[in-house]
Every structure is written in structure tokens, then in C-alpha cells.
């Protein structure tokens, strides 16, 4: 049963993250059919964060209280419900509800799934590391896999209700059945409420992940509209695939070769370079340049900056490591949701390229500031 459990838990996390970006290549077409502008489209994207953040902030200890297995199964049902909603009603209004349930599923499952897998693998001294690595890989494959398979399906035959939706429903049902056979480990107890913790010296690290994930949020919510002007809408999903895959597959290399401080500082430089290429490619309608930029963004957002920042935050958090990581994720998802909404309305008022240039200037200035001051701030801790 242990071997099966070590496969089932990552598979469950894969299914939950698969649901998150499954409909992302159709995000803009759904919004266009409903007559939504860029700002309204970005608000639809933000419902994902609205579902997720309360789970991170107020329910961080729920799996300690009631057990890992019930939380994981509930998260799978939320993912299934989101898949069903968009399969039955393939439109932007259904997407609002689907994104909300996706946020709940992800917010509840990430911490509990990782802890569950570590407990299954114990007493192996490498259990926490192996669990974290398995979680990181399975979720990276899920985030990018959903967008990838739908993009491929749309290139073969464009429809607002692709076959990938129904495939996701079927395999998520299988995942739920398998999850019921997972062993039930007695809960360790504790408070359900576990507020984030922001240790001294964490602000520049947290700000860096906010910048990184803000950049990915803007790419997801606004770039497809600009690509549509060059009849490249169907390829927008590949941007998301590259953002997730590039960072995920670089993680083992980064862990082995780069100290956390250096890794984070490399991320400061990569984000404005990557986004600058995305803007350039969008302006001239050159898909290859957009995809290269997305890859560079991903190498920082889910690679250099993410890996280095997470290690530094875990160290600064000390005994409050779990709460410090929650604070790190809190900044990341605020960055993911809020700037995209602001840029969406700015794009409606002044044009997409102008809005993207404002964002590029902003993240460049912030990145330069962080690059120049980060070492000094760490020395003062």
C-alpha cells in the first residue's frame, strides 16, 4: 500500500493542478464571446486567488486538525466540480465559478498533500525532501499539462468545448477512487487557524516572488488578447506551458549549482529581460520571441527566484517555517492576481502595448532596486 500511496498522492496533486489551467487557452475566446474587456477578463482570472487565499491564510492547519486524507479528497472533488462546470457550460461565466473552486482545491491541497506524502515516506530521513521534490514536479506537470493538452487539441480542431475537458473529468474520477484507498493517518492536532508569518528580512524575498508571479499573471490574462490580433490565439497556451515547465525542470540544476542568495539575484535580472522579450514579440507578432520570453520568465518565477526565495524564507522562519512559507505564498498570489487586474483596465484605457510597457518599466525599476540593496539588507539581519 505504501508504494501505491507514494504514487497516488502526487497523482492527486497533478489532477488538481491540471484543472487549474485546463481551460486557460480558451480564457480569452470565452471573454470575447461575452464582450468582456481586458479589465473584466483579469477579474475572472482573479477569482482563482479569491478562492485560494482564505485557505492559505485561515485554514493552514485544517489537515493537522482533521487529517490529510479528508482534505485531499475534498480538494479532488473541488477540482472535479470545476472540470464539470466548464465542460457543461463552456463560457466565461461558468469559468468564474470554476476558477473559484480551483483556487480552493489548490489552497487546501498543496500543504496537506506534501505533509501527507512525507508522513507516508517516514521514517526515511529524506522523507521531507523527497515529498517536496515529488510535489514540486507533479504540480509543475499539472499546471503546464492542462494548458498544453488543450492547446494541442485546439490546434487540431478549434472548439469552445474541447475533448480535454471530458478527459480531465474521467481521470479525476479515477483519482478520487484511488484516494479513498489511501491510508488514514491520525491527525497530529493543533489549531485550524494558522496566520502567515513575515520574519525580519523577508520583505525583499517576498517582494521578489510577488514580482515574478505578477509577471506570469499578466502573461496569462493580457498577452492572449494581443496575440489574437495576429491570429495566434491558439498558441497562447504554450506561453503558460513554457513558464511552468522551464522553471520546474531547472529546479534540480539550481539546487545543485546555486546558493539561494545568488539564485534569487539571478531571478531579479531574468524577469524584466523575459517580459521585455514578450512585449517585443507581442508588438511585432513574432511568436518565437514571445515563447522565448515566456521561458525566461518561467526560469525565474518557478526556478531561480522561487527556489532561492523559498530556501531563504524557510531559513529565516526558524521554528515558524511553515507560517513563513505561507507568507511567501501569500505575497506570490497577491502578485499573481492584483497587478493583472490593474494592467487589464490600463490596457483598456491606453492600449495593450502601452500597459505592458508601464509594467515592464515598473518591474525593471523594482528589480534593479532589489538587486542593488538585497545583499546589504541580508547583512543587517
Q: Are 294 and 274 in contact (CB under 8 A)?
A: yes
The pLDDT assigned to 381 comes to 55
Residue 212: name the closest of 302, 329, 295 by CA: 302
Query: 344, 226 in Cβ contact below 8 A?
Result: no
Domains 1-194 and 196-381 share a fold: yes
Q: Which three cell numbers stand for residue 31?
A: 471573454
Q: Which CATH code for domain 196-381?
A: 1.20.1250.20
What letter does residue 304 receive in the DSSP assignment?
I
Rounded distance, CA 329 to CA 7, Å?
26
State the CB neighbour count (10 A cutoff) for residue 101.
Answer: 23
Is the peptide bond preceding residue 123 cis, with omega within 30 degrees of 0?
A: yes
Distance, in Å, from the CA atom of 184 to the CA atom of 317, rounded to the nearest integer, reads 30
The domain ranges of the chain are: 1-194, 196-381
Across the chain, which has 381 residues, the per-10-residue mean pLDDT values are 71 92 86 84 83 79 81 94 95 93 88 79 72 74 84 88 94 94 80 78 90 89 80 76 81 83 90 94 90 92 85 76 77 85 85 91 93 70 55
pLDDT for 171 equals 95
Q: Is 49 helix (H, G, I), strand (E, B) or coil?
A: helix
- Architecture of the domain whose range is 1-194: Up-down Bundle (1.20)
Q: Measuring CA to CA, how many Å separate 196 from each of 53, 55, 327?
A: 11, 11, 5
State how far the Cα of 153 lies from the Cα of 73, in Å rounded to an integer.
Answer: 29
Sequence-separated (6 or more) residues with CB below 8 Å from residue 340: 42, 45, 46, 214, 217, 218, 220, 221, 222
Residue 198 DSSP symbol:
-
Residue 253's contacts (CB-CB under 8 Å, 6 or more residues apart) are none
Amino acid at each position: 500500500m505504501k508504494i501505491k500511496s507514494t504514487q497516488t498522492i502526487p497523482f492527486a496533486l497533478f489532477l488538481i493542478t491540471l484543472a487549474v489551467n485546463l481551460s486557460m487557452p480558451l480564457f480569452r475566446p470565452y471573454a470575447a464571446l461575452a464582450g468582456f474587456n481586458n479589465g473584466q477578463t483579469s477579474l475572472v482570472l482573479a477569482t482563482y486567488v479569491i478562492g485560494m487565499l482564505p485557505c492559505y491564510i485561515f485554514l493552514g492547519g485544517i489537515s493537522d486538525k482533521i487529517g490529510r486524507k479528508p482534505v485531499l479528497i475534498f480538494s479532488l472533488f473541488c477540482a472535479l466540480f470545476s472540470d464539470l462546470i466548464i465542460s457543461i457550460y463552456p463560457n466565461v461565466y461558468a469559468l468564474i465559478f470554476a476558477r473559484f473552486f480551483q483556487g480552493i482545491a489548490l489552497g487546501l491541497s498543496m500543504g496537506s498533500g506534501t505533509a501527507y506524502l512525507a508522513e507516508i515516506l517516514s521514517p526515511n530521513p529524506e522523507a521531507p525532501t523527497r515529498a517536496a521534490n515529488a510535489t514540486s514536479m507533479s504540480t509543475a506537470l499539472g499546471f503546464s499539462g492542462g494548458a498544453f493538452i488543450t492547446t494541442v487539441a485546439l490546434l487540431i480542431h478549434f472548439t469552445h468545448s474541447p475533448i480535454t475537458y471530458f478527459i480531465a473529468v474521467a481521470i479525476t474520477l479515477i483519482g478520487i477512487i484511488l484516494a479513498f484507498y489511501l491510508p488514514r493517518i491520525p491527525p497530529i492536532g493543533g489549531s485550524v487557524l494558522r496566520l502567515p508569518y513575515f520574519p525580519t528580512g523577508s520583505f525583499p524575498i517576498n517582494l521578489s516572488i510577488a514580482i515574478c508571479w505578477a509577471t506570469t499573471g499578466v502573461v496569462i490574462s493580457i498577452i492572449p488578447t494581443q496575440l489574437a490580433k495576429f491570429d495566434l490565439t491558439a498558441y497562447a497556451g504554450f506561453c503558460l506551458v513554457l513558464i511552468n515547465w522551464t522553471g520546474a525542470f531547472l529546479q534540480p540544476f539550481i539546487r545543485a549549482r546555486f546558493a539561494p542568495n545568488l539564485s534569487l539575484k539571478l531571478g531579479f535580472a531574468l524577469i524584466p529581460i523575459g517580459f521585455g522579450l514578450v512585449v517585443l514579440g507581442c508588438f511585432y507578432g513574432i511568436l518565437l520571441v514571445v515563447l522565448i520570453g515566456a521561458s525566461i520568465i518561467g526560469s525565474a518565477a518557478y526556478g531561480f527566484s522561487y527556489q532561492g526565495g523559498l530556501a531563504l524564507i524557510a531559513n529565516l522562519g526558524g521554528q515558524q517555517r511553515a507560517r513563513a512559507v505561507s507568507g511567501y505564498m501569500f505575497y506570490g498570489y497577491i502578485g499573481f492576481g492584483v497587478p493583472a487586474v490593474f494592467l487589464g483596465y490600463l490596457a483598456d484605457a491606453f492600449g495593450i502595448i502601452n500597459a505592458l510597457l508601464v509594467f515592464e518599466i515598473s518591474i525593471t525599476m523594482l528589480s534593479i532596486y532589489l538587486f542593488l540593496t538585497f545583499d546589504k539588507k541580508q547583512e543587517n539581519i
